[in-house]
Chains A and B, each alone.
Chain A
């Protein structure tokens, strides 16, 4: 049974860096079949894609967050991490990690369905 678990500080000060880790059990972050991704959801609002990491080292980030986001992987711990710099109150949200199926057409590959989600962790940006 595949499980994902987010961890990290629940409170971050404005202008500082938000850092979260997702620990994967029952699968490997080195799998060629999946992307490993972060999604967030501000209170009462819709889901927002943050980005993904693929085992080959490739990454993809939401254009609206790209200048502030880094997603990386620690294969020795079977974890992947999110760093979001220069946070403001607008970054207050529940942050989810998820496993994403990889779909490849004759032209390119892209993230398909998010089939396994972590339970989510609330991060508040406040002084």
Chain B
């Protein structure tokens, strides 16, 4: 059972928009920055979003992040087949004194 809760899967058609939620508590998302990672099949995770809503250099502006209270959301617009991957949220949990991740969400572009 992951500390952060994500939907197991989401799907949408090419060109459409999708959102992925990440729910936590006051000891993690509520008081610390959230980051999002994309893991393409058979590869290492890659940082997509940090500090709730910032994109590293080279990351498309089709990816966006937001946070409200104890939940965070990743948004992806203009879906492409190359976006099919597992997406993970992560943050620091001040009570556990540990980095925690969501269970991951598998994105399917129909």
In contact, A111 and B99 (Cβ under 8 angstroms): yes
Q: A46-B88, A103-B33, A110-B94 are in contact. Are A117 and B45 (CB under 8 A)?
A: yes
B 31-61 to A, binary, CB cutoff 8 A, 1 in contact else 0:
0110101000001111100110000100000
**Distance in Å from the Cβ of B4 to the closest Cβ of chain A?**
10
Instruction: Assess the B44–A60 pair: CB atoms within 8 A.
Output: no
A60 near B97 with CB under 8 A, answer yes
Question: Nearest Cβ distance between residue A90 and chain B, in whole angstroms?
Answer: 16
Q: How many residues of A contact B (CB 8 A)?
A: 24
Q: Determine the chain B residues whose CB is within 8 A of the CB of A114 once the complex forms.
A: 35, 37, 45, 47, 90
CB distance from A108 to the nearest CB of B (A): 8
Name the B residues within 8 Å of A47 (CB-CB): 37, 45, 88, 90, 101, 104
Tell me the minimal C-beta distance from A57 to chain B in angstroms. 17
Contact of A96 with B44 in the complex, beta carbons under 8 Å: yes
Question: Beta-carbon contacts of A1-18 to B below 8 Å, as 1s and 0s?
Answer: 000000000000000000
Enumerate the 9 nearest inter-chain pairs by beta-carbon distance, A residue then B residue, closest first: A113-B50, A49-B99, A113-B35, A110-B92, A117-B44, A47-B101, A46-B103, A46-B104, A120-B44
Residues of A within 8 A of B (CB): 37, 39, 46-49, 52, 60, 62-63, 96, 100-101, 103, 110-115, 117-120
